[in-house]
Chain A
Amino acid sequence: DSGVTQTPKHLITATGQRVTLRCSPRSGDLSVYWYQQSLDQGLQFLIQYYNGEERAKGNILERFSAQQFPDLHSELNLSSLELGDSALYFCASSPTKGLTLEQYFGPGTRLTVT
């Protein structure tokens, strides 16, 4: 158990809908990262927040957005869902901004868009 929790574990929704994925980082970790894992694209970095502020963006679509709240939990919002958005979404947390300390990954949320 990494100490990072993600809810829900599974999510099935229809095209065009909007969903919210939630992540609670390890106690004390200030950085939250979101990654998408799909069969064709592999594991891709989406976005990073550090202590409530967006710090870095990766291959995140404009239909996707995220935020980190004062209690440091984070939400990833996916809207106007398409079939290709079906994937496993991971959240990871770290004590720092950079890579010198380990990123701890949650178990993921499996999103299925039908």
Chain B
Amino acid sequence: AQSVTQPDIHITVSEGASLELRCNYSYGATPYLFWYVQSPGQGLQLLLKYFSGDTLVQGIKGFEAEFKRSQSSFNLRKPSVHWSDAAEYFCAVGNSGYALNFGKGTSLLVTP
């Protein structure tokens, strides 16, 4: 069965510092991979997705992610974090079917 692991429950970074959020997946074939962000009191917003092709994917708000098949990873990165990036980040995996299988999420705190 497909599954997603986000090893870091909480991450704290200083504003302006770089960010990397880890995501590992378990799936037999090439998965569809997603990163979503959830701000307090809000629904989930898609940051970026990977289906095939170039393994480095650009998303909204300056985020990017790299698919590494050999490591079963899809880590999210941002070169310079802004205070408004503080939120909960979810990695998700899906097949060509229907639903998303989400990780437990990583809570990002941005300090001045």
Contact = CB atoms under 8 A, between A and B. Distances in A.
Contact of A56 (B49, B90, B97, B103): B97
A48 B98 contact: yes
A37 to B, nearest CB: 9
Which among B41, B43, B95, B104 has the greatest number of chain A C-beta atoms within 10 A?
Answer: B43
A108 B94 CA distance: 21
Chain B contact residues, majority secondary structure: loop
Contacts of B32: 99-100
Interface of B: 32, 36, 41-46, 49, 51, 90, 94-105
Given A42-B105, A43-B90, A99 B42 contact: no
Chain A contact-residue range equals 20 to 34
Identify the 3 closest CB pairs spanning chains A and B, nearest first: A105-B43, A45-B99, A43-B102
Contacts of B98: 33, 48, 55-56, 97-99
B45 A45 contact: no
